[in-house]
């Protein structure tokens, strides 16, 4: 097992020098809005990777697997989500059941199309590049996804301790859920979910509904930490491309540890690319969950990213 990391502008240049040009690269995004930070990670840095690869005389033939995370929360709650990253909960439902305010369409469908079209501008410029969107909700029947969800619910205390040990992030000491079955009556995600074999009992904190049913008859909220392990096992990608906040939160260490926690085998070789962190209006990391974001055109983002070797990027906004 070998994990190689590449950070920021110098990292993307090193990745282009090391890669064959045919790697399968995983990227993830929640399907509502696509702010400047998302554009940096999902469009600008793939463009830079292809550009640097082409400079070597190699035709970029990468496949970018875009995981559209409709099982994540639209809004994150917690005592202090900036400090206690693992003492969190979904405020309402998942994006799978969110309706977009402007279009009136399901957010996952509307923004999934927008995201796919914007990432596809990479393949417009480099025609041998492939962009493959994958909704998390479409992976429910995959054995690896089922295993990760059941284990995440059943072994949540072990999982939290593993994350605390690998990241050093502080905790309030609360009992944290990293996955829940959604309430089948109101789709609320902040439920009390308990596993018994392959059956799950759900007690809804919002409407009070209680049910016991098999795994296949529920929808789920799943935190992006264990979610990465499931996608890694399902897709078998060669590399990942993520925002710099994931590096700061020790995702290199926790991804490896979580994969081995769930699948009881060494994690595969992988290259992890991390972009700079895009700064929002309030001076903190740009984030949808924290409602701290703005949009920018891709050419402005690429221009800034291609000359910024540091850990942070700041853009002007309207």
- For residue range 212-226, list pLDDT tens digits in order: 999 999 999 999 999
Residue 48 to residues 29, 104, 120, 304, Cα–Cα distance (Å): 19, 35, 14, 11
pTM for the complete prediction? 0.94
pLDDT at 260: 98
Biggest distance spanned by C-alpha atoms of the chain: 62
pLDDT at 82: 76
More reliable by pLDDT, 315 or 29? 29
Q: What is the CATH number of the domain that holds 37?
A: 3.40.50
Structure tokens at 258: 């979580």
pLDDT at 290: 65
- Determine the average pLDDT of the residues in 204-211: 97
- Determine the average pLDDT of the residues in 103-130: 95
pLDDT at 100: 87
Q: Could you tell me whether strands 179-181 and 220-222 are parallel, antiparallel, or unpaired per DSSP bridges? A: antiparallel
Whether 189 is in a domain gets the answer no
CB 308 within 8 A of CB 275: no
Whether 167 is in a domain gets the answer no
CA distance 234 to 138: 12
Whether 268 is in a domain gets the answer yes
**Model confidence pLDDT, tens digit, residues 248-260:** 999 999 999 999 9
pLDDT at 174: 79
Residue range(s) defining the domain that contains residue 286: 3-142+223-313
pLDDT at 137: 96
**Model confidence pLDDT, tens digit, residues 123-155:** 999 999 999 999 999 999 999 999 999 999 999
Percent of the chain with pLDDT over 70: 97
Whether 185 is in a domain gets the answer no
Check pLDDT > 50 for residue 59: yes
- Determine the average pLDDT of the residues in 6-34: 96
- Determine the average pLDDT of the residues in 91-118: 92
Grouping H, G, I as helix, E, B as strand and the rest as coil, residue 63 is strand
pLDDT at 288: 65
pLDDT at 84: 80
Check pLDDT > 70 for residue 317: no
Whether 246 is in a domain gets the answer yes
- Determine the average pLDDT of the residues in 207-215: 98
pLDDT at 221: 97
Check pLDDT > 80 for residue 283: no
CB 62 within 8 A of CB 129: yes
Grouping H, G, I as helix, E, B as strand and the rest as coil, residue 214 is strand
Give the mean pLDDT of the chain.
93
pLDDT at 318: 44
Instruction: Give kind and range of the element (H or E) at residue 278.
Output: strand 277-278
Total domain count, the chain: 1
pLDDT at 158: 96
C-beta neighbour count of 122 within 10 angstroms: 23
Whether 168 is in a domain gets the answer no
Whether 211 is in a domain gets the answer no
Whether 203 is in a domain gets the answer no
Grouping H, G, I as helix, E, B as strand and the rest as coil, residue 22 is coil
Which residues pair with residue 211 across a beta bridge?
202
pLDDT at 215: 98
Check pLDDT > 50 for residue 312: yes
- Determine the average pLDDT of the residues in 29-48: 92
């Amino acid at each position: 097992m070998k994990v190689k990391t590449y950070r920021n502008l110098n990292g993307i240049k090193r990745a282009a020098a090391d890669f064959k040009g045919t790697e399968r690269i995983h990227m993830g995004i929640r399907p509502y809005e696509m702010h400047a930070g998302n554009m940096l990670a999902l469009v600008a840095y793939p463009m830079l990777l292809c550009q640097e690869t082409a400079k070597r005389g190699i035709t970029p033939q990468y496949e970018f697997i875009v995981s559209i995370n409709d099982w994540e929360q639209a809004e994150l709650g917690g005592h202090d989500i900036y400090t206690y990253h693992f003492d969190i909960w979904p405020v309402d439902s998942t994006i799978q059941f969110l309706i977009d305010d402007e279009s009136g369409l399901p957010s996952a469908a509307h923004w999934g199309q927008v995201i796919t079209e914007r990432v596809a501008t990479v393949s417009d410029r480099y025609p041998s590049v492939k962009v493959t969107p994958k909704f998390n909700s479409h992976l429910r029947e995959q054995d690896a996804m089922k295993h990760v969800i059941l284990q995440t619910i059943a072994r949540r205390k072990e999982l939290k301790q593993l994350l605390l040990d690998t990241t050093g992030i502080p905790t309030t000491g609360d009992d944290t859920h990293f996955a829940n079955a959604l309430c089948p009556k109101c789709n609320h995600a902040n439920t009390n979910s308990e596993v018994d074999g392959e059956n799950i009992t759900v007690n809804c904190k919002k409407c009070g509904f209680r049910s016991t049913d098999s795994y296949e008859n529920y929808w789920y909220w799943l935190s992006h930490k264990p979610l990465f392990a499931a996608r890694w096992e399902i897709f078998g990608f060669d590399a990942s491309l993520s925002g710099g906040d994931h590096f700061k939160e020790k995702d290199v260490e926790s991804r490896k540890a979580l994969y081995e926690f769930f699948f009881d085998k060494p994690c595969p070789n992988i290259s992890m690319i991390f972009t700079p962190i895009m700064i929002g209006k309030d001076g903190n990391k740009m984030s949808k969950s924290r409602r701290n974001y703005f949009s920018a055109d891709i050419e402005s983002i690429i221009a800034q990213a291609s000359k910024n070797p540091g850990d942070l990027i700041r853009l002007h906004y309207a």
